[in-house]
Amino acid sequence: MPRTNTHSVTDDAPVELHADVLVIGGGPAGTWAAVAAAQQGARVILVDKGYCGTSGATAPSGTGVWYVPPHPEERRAAMGSRYALGGFLAERVWMERVLEQTYANVNTIADWGYPFPTDDDGRPFRRSLRGPEYMRLMRRKVLQSGVKILDHSPALSLLVDEHGVGGATGIRTQTDQAWTVIAGAVVIATGGCAFLSKALGCNVLTGDGLLMSAEAGAELSGMEFSNAYAICPKFSSVTKTLFYNWATFYYESGEVIEGAGSQRGRSVIARTLLSQPVYARIDKASEEMQTWMRQAQPNFFVPFDRAGINPFQDRFEVTLRLEGTVRGTGGIRLVDETCATGVPGLYAAGDAATRELICGGFTGGGSHNAAWAMSSGYWAGQSAARYAHRLGDKHHLRRPAPLWDAGAGPRQAASESAGSTGEVISAVQQEVMPCDRNLFRCERNLNDSLRRLDAVWHTIRYERAPTGSLQKRREAEAMTATARWMYTAALERTETRGMHKRTDFQTADEEQQHRLVVSGLDEIHIHTEPVQHPLEVVPS
Amino acid sequence: MIELISETLCTRCGLCVAVCPTNVFSQKKGEVPTIERQSDCQTCFMCELYCPVDAMYVAPHADETVGVEERAVAELDLLGSYRAAVGWGPGSAGRLPLPGETKVFQATKAAEERPRAQTERKGVGLHAP
């Protein structure tokens, strides 16, 4: 029996709840999963590390959506548009069904009252969503569906028994309570990993779900496609890159950097940044365009307005902030169309799941990402509810145990300086943030980084747990694990494909037109998986 | 990073404590919340957007604290400026000013199609130059 279904913040006793479906993560994928599971009649609990409605990369930002009307020609063009950029690793069948589901879901959002604008002909324009508005609406729909939300409740470990995954456990950070949810099925919708780079909204995205799933035996795919960097004013967190299509990039002297650009010339910016500062100015936008820009993305202008910079007239220093697997495409491998992970009772969606299925090894703007989140979230929630239903009502009697237990980890030796989670995180960031390691990759650097990352992993898991809260300890572990999976896959892929660039193998190798699947914690295993349904590209 | 909660404007409702995704604030019962863990702030501006009385100010600097005086930001009309721009401010009835979105989309599509045509001509597109 559940101990209680309501609890106040003054109650410091552990929270123990039962549900058919537990959704971990309250961004777009998690909220769609929760709504879809509830539609199936499941009792659903959603936990979020922060606050469902503001957490994650979408809420403070805004995103294009891969919303394409069901006309065969338009759909074909949409599928082909980024196929080559993605290195021919996407799956036609998955693209088709994501386009179909996204179209349905976006129309549902309109029915729910999202204020889509109209175009010049008065037709509704549904190809973009504003983050704050979208996620506030999704929280409301989740609550209206009867889902219970636990905010500020990071998950620390999945619970398992002989039947598979049966819930999760974590802490409520504002009350220091432990929480446990026994559930028939779990959906991982924890987002990707941006290594605490402060890319907009990304600091809750530390790879926690990847680690928890891997501990339960799930595999990951496409982890080499994890080196997305966003252009950003150097002082700022606002990693919105669309308007840099209208920018010119400059050296400190004021001379134009030839070849530098947002879409095709980001590598030129990265190379220049290795030795000197880079400046930008959005000087290719007409006055009319400038007005539209302000209306379309007010958050892009907040840092400039507050710092007293006119980005259309003044040159401002820019940097590249790592977005890791958030805008990269790697994540938990899905074994079928239900978004199952292969571990009984465990489903994955959104950035936590591999987006290679629709993007291959490259992602541009948020359009595919938003479509993937709402589609995979919907399917994962629906499938998790059906799975829990098939278990019957006895699943509440299960007593699954955590896979990770803070008390069972390494003890800190009092005589030794154990290091803090902050130091561990810095050590990992030093391996994954520099462009000359992660954006431009080579065998020697990858091997060096992996050796150091392996040592960090061994230390924090087996020798000395770093000081810091349980949440931060787990984040440090998750980032270390994610970095090791990334670089193991990057080392294996001896070619350049999608966003994965090897300076020692600068072209694509036809023999490597397959996905790379990694698994394991202490020892990482890797194998290839063929593309099953390639898109037939009609030669032009 | 979050720099300011105005003691004179704050109604002590605690909404910022609830909505901050990285749990930066603490609040004792009936008091103005405090910026307890400023280094965890990710500069996402969500607290400012949700504050119903525009009592907060997030400086745009993500990696350093800059120190902010309430009088200075108030004089520059910065308190609540983002909420107003997004259309969540008082008087905007929760509706968004949206007319720019279709124009920007069309312009972006036009800008994107040019490089794509080049890629297809070359027949590779496996790595952006």
If you write DSSP's letter for every residue of A198-224 in order, what string do you get? --TTGGG-BSHHHHHHHHTT--EE-TT
Share of chain B above pLDDT 90, in %: 65
Closest CA to B33 of B75, B4, B68: B4
| Chain A residues lying within 8 Å of B96, measured CB to CB | 115, 130, 133
The answer on B49 and B104 residing in a single domain is: no
Token pair of A275 as six digits? 């030795």
| Nearest beta carbon to residue A235 from set B18, B62, B101 | B62
The answer on B105 and B80 residing in a single domain is: no
Task: Report if residue B37 sits inside a domain.
Answer: yes
Look up the domain containing B123 and give its range.
97-129
Residue with tokens 């787990």: A474
The answer on B51 and B75 residing in a single domain is: yes
| Nearest beta carbon to residue A200 from set B44, B78, B102 | B44
| Residue B123 confidence (pLDDT) above 90 | no
| Residue A201 confidence (pLDDT) above 50 | yes
- What is the distance between the alpha carbons of residues A181 and A172, in angstroms, rounded to a whole number? 12
Closest CA to A209 of A95, A84, A316, A341: A341
The alpha carbon of A462 is separated from its chain's Cα centroid by a whole number of angstroms, namely 28
| Chain B residues lying within 8 Å of A115, measured CB to CB | 95-96, 98
| Contact check, Cβ <8 Å, A305/B111 | no
| Chain A residues lying within 8 Å of B18, measured CB to CB | 51, 151
| Residue B40 confidence (pLDDT) above 60 | yes
The answer on B105 and B74 residing in a single domain is: no
Three-class SS of A282-298: CCCCCHHHHHHHHHHCH
By the 8 A CB rule, do A138 and A36 touch? Answer: no
Task: Report if residue B58 sits inside a domain.
Answer: yes
- What is the distance between the alpha carbons of residues B43 and B103, in angstroms, rounded to a whole number? 28
- What is the distance between the alpha carbons of residues A476 and A484, in angstroms, rounded to a whole number? 12
The answer on B120 and B59 residing in a single domain is: no
| Chain B residues lying within 8 Å of A267, measured CB to CB | 128-129
The answer on B55 and B107 residing in a single domain is: no
Interface check for A507 against chain B (CB to CB < 8 A): the answer is yes
First to last CA, chain B: 35
Q: What are phi and psi of A118, to 5 degrees?
A: -115, 155
| pLDDT class of B129 with cuts at 50, 70, 90 | very low
pLDDT recorded at residue A364? 63
Determine the average pLDDT of the residues in A154-170.
97
The answer on B9 and B60 residing in a single domain is: yes
Task: Report if residue B12 sits inside a domain.
Answer: yes
Determine the average pLDDT of the residues in A458-478.
93
Task: Report if residue B92 sits inside a domain.
Answer: no
If you write DSSP's letter for every residue of A253-316 in order, what string do you get? TS-B-TT--SSS-HHHHHHHHTTS-EEEE-TT--HHHHHHHHHH-HHHHHHHHHHT--TTTS-E
| Residue A316 confidence (pLDDT) above 80 | yes
Q: Which one of A85, A229, A237, A426 would you mutate to disrupt binding with B, by most B Cβ within 10 Å of its Cβ?
A: A237
By the 8 A CB rule, do A56 and A151 touch? Answer: no
| Residue A4 confidence (pLDDT) above 70 | no
Token pair of B122 as six digits? 């070359």
Task: Report if residue B91 sits inside a domain.
Answer: no
The answer on B57 and B118 residing in a single domain is: no
Query: Which residues 323-352 of A are in CB contact (within 8 Å) with B?
Result: none
| Contact check, Cβ <8 Å, B96/A130 | yes
| Contact check, Cβ <8 Å, B43/A119 | no
By the 8 A CB rule, do A69 and A124 touch? Answer: no
- What is the distance between the alpha carbons of residues A122 and A142, in angstroms, rounded to a whole number? 31
The answer on B16 and B48 residing in a single domain is: yes
| pLDDT class of A154 with cuts at 50, 70, 90 | very high
Q: What is the pLDDT of residues A87-99, one digit of tens each?
A: 999 999 999 999 9
Largest CA distance in chain A: 73
Q: What are phi and psi of A63, to 5 degrees?
A: -155, 145
| Residue A258 confidence (pLDDT) above 70 | yes
| Chain A residues lying within 8 Å of B78, measured CB to CB | 305-306
| Chain A residues lying within 8 Å of B112, measured CB to CB | 245, 263, 364
Give this prediction's pTM: 0.94
Closest CA to A45 of A184, A215, A202, A207: A184
Distance from CA of B108 to the nearest CA of A (A): 8
The answer on B29 and B79 residing in a single domain is: yes
| pLDDT class of A407 with cuts at 50, 70, 90 | confident
| Nearest beta carbon to residue B100 from set A173, A293, A540 | A293
| Nearest beta carbon to residue B45 from set A53, A60, A501 | A60
Q: What are phi and psi of B128, to 5 degrees?
A: -70, 130
pLDDT recorded at residue B113? 65
Q: What are phi and psi of B96, to 5 degrees?
A: -100, 145
The answer on B72 and B17 residing in a single domain is: yes
Determine the average pLDDT of the residues in A151-171.
97
* CATH code, domain carrying B6: 3.30.70.20
By the 8 A CB rule, do A299 and A61 touch? Answer: yes
List the single range of A322-326, B38-42, B115-119 with lowest mean pLDDT: B115-119
pLDDT recorded at residue A179? 97
Q: What are phi and psi of A401, to 5 degrees?
A: -115, 150
Q: Counting Cβ atoms within 10 Å, is residue A503 exposed (0-12), middle (13-18) or buried (19+)?
A: middle
Give the other-Cβ count within 10 Å of A76's Cβ.
Answer: 16
| Chain A residues lying within 8 Å of B128, measured CB to CB | 85, 263-264, 266-267
Alpha helices in A399-507 (DSSP H): 421-432, 435-438, 443-458, 470-492
Determine the average pLDDT of the residues in B98-117.
70
| Contact check, Cβ <8 Å, B45/A64 | no
Token pair of A518 as six digits? 């990694």
Q: What is the pLDDT of residues A74-84, one digit of tens each?
A: 999 999 988 99
| Contact check, Cβ <8 Å, B99/A49 | no
Strands A440-441 and A501-502, by their bridges, are parallel
Across the A/B interface, how many CB contacts are shorter than 8 Å? 177
pLDDT recorded at residue A538? 56
By the 8 A CB rule, do A488 and A526 touch? Answer: yes
| Residue A161 confidence (pLDDT) above 60 | yes
Closest-CA residue in chain B for A203?
Answer: B42
| pLDDT class of A402 with cuts at 50, 70, 90 | very high
pLDDT recorded at residue B114? 59
Token pair of B88 as six digits? 């969540």
| Residue A108 confidence (pLDDT) above 90 | yes
- Most confident range, picked from A238-247, A512-521, B118-127: A512-521
A14 or A249: whose pLDDT is higher? A249
| pLDDT class of A122 with cuts at 50, 70, 90 | confident
| Residue B125 confidence (pLDDT) above 80 | no
- What is the distance between the alpha carbons of residues A490 and A504, in angstroms, rounded to a whole number? 12
Is this complex scored with an ipTM above 0.95?
Answer: no
| pLDDT class of B96 with cuts at 50, 70, 90 | low
Amino acid letter at A118? T
Task: Report if residue B105 sits inside a domain.
Answer: yes
Q: Which residues contact B123 (CB under 8 A, 6 or more apart)?
A: none
The answer on B104 and B52 residing in a single domain is: no
DSSP state of A167: E
- What is the distance between the alpha carbons of residues A156 and B39, in angstroms, rounded to a whole number? 22
- What is the distance between the alpha carbons of residues A123 and A116, in angstroms, rounded to a whole number? 10
- What is the distance between the alpha carbons of residues A499 and A501, in angstroms, rounded to a whole number? 6
pLDDT recorded at residue A5? 39
Query: Which residues 438-477 of A are in CB contact (within 8 Å) with B?
Result: none
pLDDT recorded at residue B100? 75
- Split into its structural domains, chain B has a count of 2
| Contact check, Cβ <8 Å, B63/A198 | yes
CA A488 to each of CA A206, A453, A497, A527: distance values in angstroms, whole numbers, following the listed order: 18, 11, 16, 11
| Chain B residues lying within 8 Å of A85, measured CB to CB | 119, 125, 128
List the single range of A29-33, B57-61, B92-96 with lowest mean pLDDT: B92-96
Strands (E), B15-128: 25-26, 34-35, 56-58
Q: Which residues contact B32 (CB under 8 A, 6 or more apart)?
A: B5, B7, B10, B12
CA A6 to each of CA A140, A143, A293: distance values in angstroms, whole numbers, following the listed order: 19, 15, 45
Determine the average pLDDT of the residues in B117-126.
40
Task: Report if residue B32 sits inside a domain.
Answer: yes
Task: Report if residue B66 sits inside a domain.
Answer: yes
| Residue A7 confidence (pLDDT) above 50 | no
- Most confident range, picked from A43-52, A233-242, A285-294: A43-52
List the single range of A34-38, A415-419, A425-429 with lowest mean pLDDT: A415-419
| Contact check, Cβ <8 Å, A60/B103 | no
